[in-house]
Amino acid sequence: MPNPQFTSRISSPENLALPSSEQTVQKASIEKLVYGGDGLGRLPSGEVCFVPFAVPGEAVSLSVRQEVKKILKGTILEIEQPSSNRVEPKCTVFTQCGGCQWQHIRYAEQIHWKTKIVEENLVRLGGFKDIAVEPIKSTAVEDEQSAWRYRNRVQWDVQTVKNSIQLGYKAGKSQTLVEFSDCHIISDVMNSIYHSSQRMLNLAVGFYAKHLRRIEVIENEAGQIFLSFYGLRHPQLTTLAHDLATQYPAILGIVLVDEDRPHKTAALLAGVSTNITFKVNAFEFQVSANSFFQTNTALSATLLEDMQSWLHDDTDSLLDLYAGGGFFSIALHNKAKQITAVEIAHSSIQDAQANLKQNNIDTIRLIERSVDNYVKTERLQFDAAVIDPPRSGSTPAVLKWLSENIKKQLLYVSCNPATLARDLKLLVQLGWSVKHVQPYDMFPQTYHIETLVHLEKG
């Protein structure tokens, strides 16, 4: 039988609304996992019900309620037949915190279902019946310990509750904050900084409630730390920054991102640096507050290697859309004679400029514009393109522009298999063919999946 402590957690008051006229108690068999983290359960009536914290193969008793669009959602009351792939979660606030959804599932089972989820979305939403999805790549296949403590970046929100400061993660689909004793997907040092910050904030509750909204911590592969405070400028924040920097010598710098100023300008409060540097393969990348960087450093190196192996050696010109700090452009600069990188975030463009100088590269042209604006006004043609859109995917206008202006290859990086399937369907209709679909488990213990797709013209 499952651990009774875990069973009580998944059916605790904050996770379970008692049965009402809109809810029924039913049994279900869990068939699979779906994107979003839920198990897909089948009720005796044959209806589908989405069940958080379930594992395929289990028989469960549920409180079932109907949500928008007549979707049925179930909360586990009892696990009548547990799966052999169910394990005890490490985190004491698992099911409450919105950060992890799959700590209760054996890791080999997690990555099995991530590959299946990519496949099923391509079939169901993309209409691809014979597409081959490569087995998901993960650093934890050889060393399962790397499925923990892997995040290089984390954010904690600040709010006041009953005259005390709460610092923590947002609960799933909620603005409620969840505090924790040990977050197992960040390092011990990050956890220590969390507890120190929590203690210091509660020494001046009224002030911090008015002036501090969020704390971000970044840690590179060398163990160096960079912090960003998000809020309103005040001398007390400088005191907090100096106290933390004194306690943690690994801190390179602490900045304030002043939300009252244009471009959310970052000002140095303590330490010596307004950014932190990561080394991935042979390249160095500066990362500042508000700038995007891959969260799993080790597996990002594998992603870059696959890109380099698929991009043709005879590529004269490459376009990098949603370029961030130049991560892909810099890694691919030896494969293309000229690269154009388009990015809207000013802080990312500043990082990209520094990264080009740091890596001695002069073949990349940076353009600070939105991708939508760029494709409306430019008609330049390129041999190949890299596109790394947000979770919502690309737009038909951008995909049509790519089809008209990219002559040979397209590398599409996606963090959402549903919008990936939708966009690939249109690209194939526009004349592209899919050559490789490679998922990566950048985010163990969660449902999130990164996928790289290699397409060629014709």
**What mean pLDDT value characterizes the chain?**
93
pLDDT value, residue 161: 86
Range of the domain at 445: 119-139+296-457
- Position 69 confidence tier, pLDDT thresholds 50, 70, 90: confident
Q: Are residues 306 and 426 in the same domain?
A: yes
pLDDT tens digits for range 313-335: 999 999 999 999 999 999 999 99
Instruction: Give CA 368 to chain center in angstroms.
Output: 24
Q: Do 445 and 319 share a domain, yes or no?
A: yes
Torsion over CA: 133, 139, 144, 145 (sign): negative
Domain end marker among 278, 313, 344: 278
* CA–centroid distance for 342 within its chain: 21
- Residue 17 reports pLDDT greater than 90: no
pLDDT tens-digit map of 277-291: 999 999 999 999 989
217 DSSP assignment: E
> pLDDT category, 6, cuts 50, 70, 90?
low
Domain co-membership, 158 together with 133: no
**CATH code, 49:** 2.40.50.140
At residue 9, the pLDDT reads 55
pLDDT value for 262: 59
Residue 11 scores a pLDDT above 60: no
**The last residue of a domain, from among 278, 307, 341:** 278
The pTM is what?
0.92
Same domain? 134 vs 243? no
Higher pLDDT, 454 or 209: 454
User: What tokens appear for 387 in the block?
Assistant: 């596109």
Which pLDDT belongs to residue 247? 98
For the chain, counts of helices (H) and of strands (E):
11, 21
Which residue in this structure is represented by tokens 């009252």? 260
Residues 159, 179 within the same domain: yes
* Tens of pLDDT, residues 379-425: 999 999 999 999 999 999 999 999 999 999 999 999 999 999 999 99
pLDDT at 130 over 50: yes
Domain count, the chain: 3
Same domain for 420 and 309: yes
pLDDT (0 to 100) of residue 18: 41
CA dist., res. 369 & res. 44, Å (int): 53
Q: Do both 186 and 254 map to the same domain?
A: yes
Write the CATH number for 315.
3.40.50.150
In a domain, 289, yes or no: no
For residue 209, pLDDT over 90 is answered with no
| Residue 114 in domain | no
Same domain? For 212 and 253 the reply is: yes
Q: Provide the CATH number for the domain around residue 199.
A: 2.40.50.1070
Q: Tell me which of 243, 278, 313 is where a domain ends.
A: 278
d(CA 340, CA 210): 43
